[in-house]
Chains A and B, each alone.
Chain A
Amino acid sequence: MKFLSFFVSRVGKALVVVLGVVIINFFMIRLAPGDPAAVLAGQAGAGDASYVESLRAEFGLDQPLLSQLWLYLKGVFQLDLGFSYRNHVPVLDLILERLPATFLLMSCAFLFSIVFGVLLGVVAARARYNNKRRWIDSSVMTGALLLYATPLFWLSLMGILLFSVLLGWLPAFGMESVGTHLSGWARVGDIATHLILPTVTLGCFFMAVYVRLTRASMLEVIGMDFVKTARAKGVSPNRVIRAHVLRNALLPVVTFAGIQLGQMAGGAVLTETVFAWPGIGRLMFDALLQRDYQLLLGIFLVTSIMVVVFNLLTDLLYRLIDPRISADSHGAAA
């Protein structure tokens, strides 16, 4: 029962965020200089008069602001994100077509960053705590510091320069090789090789974040009494780290993973732009170039929904890891 009410309150919160983004989108169009209908049609002279007129009617631009907002909300919640005038396709269709690629990239980058981030964080914390091989700790931390300061899009470009241009090991752009009609495992392998560079470059920044978090959190937990007890009663050192320290040290990492997803969605725009990855990030870049605002706002909304859903999942995961946390104290903490 308690879990159910927690779940309902979290879903409600998520819905409020989505509603907020829709309202922001609505006002964003009206912030833009010029006639909203012309803005929606695409400014650079592409909107012909009759189309602009039909838009004006559709959005009720002759009516008061509140009824305009109502019309807009109704449209969005009926999954009508508008029409991309430049591409002659409904915005939703364009986005849905690109969504799987982004989803694939983001999940891989997320897994990469959290697995390697936690792993390196544990290694660094152990080296520091045992006071043996301190160089491991300092080199991991220096690496994290450097990655922390590296612009994501530049790291992607440097990855292409090194691994595609100079070494020729990995493909520089796209998701599949052009002109080869592969199927089955050959196709999976082809996509996987295309996936390596984007995944690693997108994941690197977040990996650095998790390294620092895990290390700090481990060092805090490792000195606590229950860890000393576990050690004193003869639990093997590896098991102490795994079952006692890491399990408790992971809590802040999971909280942060939820918050970080929003940033990663933004990072995907940059990575996909550099690697011509056919996802919604690249679509956003194309929409920018074409001044296709309907599409741009649609992508912003869908990205936000994606982040909110991921957040919801990490919240549920958080409860699984630590049943002590109640729905309320989690929201108020930190």
Chain B
Amino acid sequence: MNPFLRRYTRNYGAVAGLAVMLVVVATALAAPLLYPESPWMMVAEPLIKPFTDPAYPFGTDMLGRDITAGLVWGARVSLLVGLLSTGVALAFGILVGAVAGYCGGRIDDALMRFTEFFQTIPQLAMAVVLVAVLSPSVYSIMGAIALVSWPPAARLVRSEFMTLKQREFVQAAIVIGQTPSRIVCTQILPNAMSPIIVSASFMVATAILTESSLSFLGLGDRNLMSWGFMIGAARTMIREAWWMSVWPGVAILLTVLAINLIGEGLNDALNPQLRKRGE
């Protein structure tokens, strides 16, 4: 077995996380096949208890919407927003961090002040205000999440760049006259990739949590069923229908937990020497 896989599979939690994640991804992909009708449709009697009607295993909400259908469609929103907003945040974070770490000096100072600013202000409050003002849609949500989550990535990339820049192979590339952009893309960035990948997986988890918080507050995309929205709608029904809020929460918890476990497994597999020091 190749060493990457061997180190990854040695972490049982990471294997379990991967298994859960595969189920979630498969569910998200299969949503249109499993539940071709919109999850907003009222399909049965309201407030059917879970595990009583085999057609609606997780019950129905106060309007008779199928909670199982909501869970299945919600997986799409969570994964989509989690992945895309992390992608945007990562691209921006890498850009800022790479420029700051490679150039150093004043540029570095200015960019780090900028990064610190975004790290200081209350992130969720900022995302809430942004989405509210721009009016809630899947784009404004992804943009807001990306805007509040890039700073840690930028700091990580910057510190990686600062150490890698001192290494002989980079110095050699400078001496033979490679252009800075080429050095960054072909010499430094590939060597900085493993910590970036690890932190990206944790960013996806945080983005999913943030998305669910926004939809919980009523700032979700009105056309898409999401787990946070389901919990928000269930909030006032907590005394009458516990299942309306329990299942979507369990779905978020499992997904985020799985991603965090995968992140730790990737960390073991990609940075084995770091792992040993921590043991």
Contacts and interface: CB of A to CB of B under 8 A. Distances in A.
Interface string B123-167: 111111110111100000000000000000001000000000000
A interface secondary structure, majority: helix
B257 interface: yes
Interface in B208-246: 209, 212-213, 216-219, 228, 231-232, 234-235, 238-239, 242, 245-246
A22 B3 CA distance: 52
A151 B119 CA distance: 21
Contacts of B41: none
Nearest to B279: A219
Given A20-B117, A28-B129, A307-B122, A165 B238 contact: yes
Contacts of B278: 216, 219
A67 to B, nearest CB: 22
A159 to B, nearest CB: 10
B135 A285 contact: no
- Interface size class on chain B is 35 or more
Contacts, number: 150
Contact of A153 (B119, B130, B219, B231): B231
A313 to B, nearest CB: 13
B125 A269 contact: yes
B256 A31 contact: no
Given A160-B238, A284-B128, A153 B120 contact: no
Contacts of B201: none
Given A151-B228, A158-B249, A304 B122 contact: yes
A40 to B, nearest CB: 11
Given A21-B121, A154-B245, A157-B235, A145 B260 contact: yes
Interface stretch (A191-199, A241-249, A292-300, A316-324): A292-300
Given A157-B238, A269-B217, A284-B128, A151 B252 contact: yes
Contact of B129 (A39, A152, A165, A296): A296
Contact of B133 (A31, A148, A284): A31
A108 interface: no
Interface residues of A, number: 55
A263 B123 contact: yes
6 smallest beta-carbon distances between A and B, as pairs: A266-B124, A154-B249, A149-B257, A149-B256, A265-B122, A262-B122
Interface of B: 112-113, 116-117, 119-130, 132-135, 155, 205, 209, 212-213, 216-219, 228, 231-232, 234-235, 238-239, 242, 245-246, 248-249, 252-253, 256-257, 260-261, 278
22 contacts: A24-B126, A28-B129, A32-B133, A39-B133, A149-B253, A151-B228, A152-B213, A153-B212, A157-B231, A157-B245, A158-B249, A259-B120, A265-B125, A266-B123, A266-B213, A269-B125, A269-B128, A284-B128, A297-B129, A303-B125, A304-B122, A332-B112
